[in-house]
Structure formats: structure tokens, C-alpha cells
Amino acid sequence: MDEEPRIGRLLVASPRLADPNFSHTVVLILARDGDEGALGVVLNRPSTRAVEEILASWAPLAADPAMVFVGGPVGHQGAIGLARGGSDLPGDGWVPIVGRLGTVDLARDPDDLPTNLDAVRVFSGHAGWGAGQLEAEIEAGAWVVLDAAPDDVLCADPDRLWRAVLRRQGGKLAWLANVPLDPRLN
């Protein structure tokens, strides 16, 4: 199995990951540099705040559910926008990550971007790891590194994403999807 945590891949929390910030999460890697570390956003933690409340100009493009997502425990003073667009070429305010998925500059008007967007998801905060930290967590079994499916990032049912990603892997990883979200209920 390829466990290289590259940009555009998923980090799926192992049931043994005890940190409540990441329990049963699916994280998309947005940046990684061996000397700097890595940055990603949690894909399955919607907040109770609607995109319309915070970024009204982006609300018409907000993927269902149209809520701001908690991207991680770091940097809640800013927001990260992930969008499905029509170009795999970078442009002013648009940085492709994988396929038609990229980050957008949320300070800009969506109509002023160099690509047409189908949908956007807004994240408050992000997950961050120092140099070597993510690799050590993967080696310790805290994360499973997997390829993302096209619908993972903007999925309409984020509460089921963790289980869905594991189930589609088959074998032992699919079995992990049966671990209860709250072990006390086992």
C-alpha cells in the first residue's frame, strides 16, 4: 500500500487516534514540504454556521451542506476555500490541487476568478504538522493514507464520509468502518 502523504491524498484517522480534534476524521492534504511539514483540512466536520452568514458572495456556490466546515484546530481566524472548477491550470485566485479540485481566494468575488466553479466548500481553520510529525504519526498507525475519490471533498453527507472511505478499500480497512464512533456504545 502506498503510504506517501502527497498533496491531494486523504489521511483517514485510525480508530486508535485518541486526539478528539481528529477522531474519525478524513483530512485532505493541501500542502506538504519535507522541511516545513504538512497542512490539510478536515472534510467531515460541518459547523453550525452557514456560508451565507460569513461569505454571502460565495453562498450560491456552496456545496450541500452549505455550512462552514471546521478544517482543523489551527488558524480559525482565516478561511480556506476548496472548489471544483473547470481548469487544472493555476490562475489569479485559483490553485489546482488534484484534477478539477483546487483552492480559491475567498477574498475575491467568485465571478472574478480565472475559472468557472461548480461548487465550493469553506473551512475555518486547518490541520498542521511540523517537519516529520505527520510521517511519525502515520508510522505509529494514527493515520491511513489513501487516494481521494472525486466526491469525497464536497460530499453531501460528511457524517458518513469516514466509514464510506474505509468501506470502499475492502479487506481489513473496510472492517475498521465497523468500529463504533463512541466505543462506550459497543
Domain-located, residue 185: no
Residue 2 lies in a domain: no
Residue 130: give the domain boundaries.
9-179
Phi, psi of 166 (to 5 degrees): -65, -45
Number of H helices, E strands in the chain: 4, 10
Say if residues 75 and 125 touch (Cβ distance below 8 Å): yes
Q: Which three cell numbers stand for residue 126?
A: 486547518
Q: How many domains does the chain have?
A: 1
Residue 157: CATH number of its domain: 3.40.1740.10
Residue at 186 is within a domain? no
Q: Is residue 184 part of a domain?
A: no
d(C-alpha 27, C-alpha 42), whole Å: 4
Distance between CA 120 and CA 143 in Å, rounded? 26
Residue 82 lies inside a defined structural domain of this protein: yes
Per-residue pLDDT of the chain (186 residues; tens, 9 = 90+): 678 899 999 999 998 888 999 999 999 999 998 788 999 999 999 999 999 999 999 999 999 999 999 999 998 888 999 999 878 888 889 999 988 899 999 999 999 888 889 999 999 999 999 999 999 999 999 999 999 998 999 999 999 999 999 999 999 899 888 877 665 555
Assigned domain for 4 exists: no
pLDDT of residue 113: 87
Q: Over the chain, what is the mean pLDDT?
A: 92
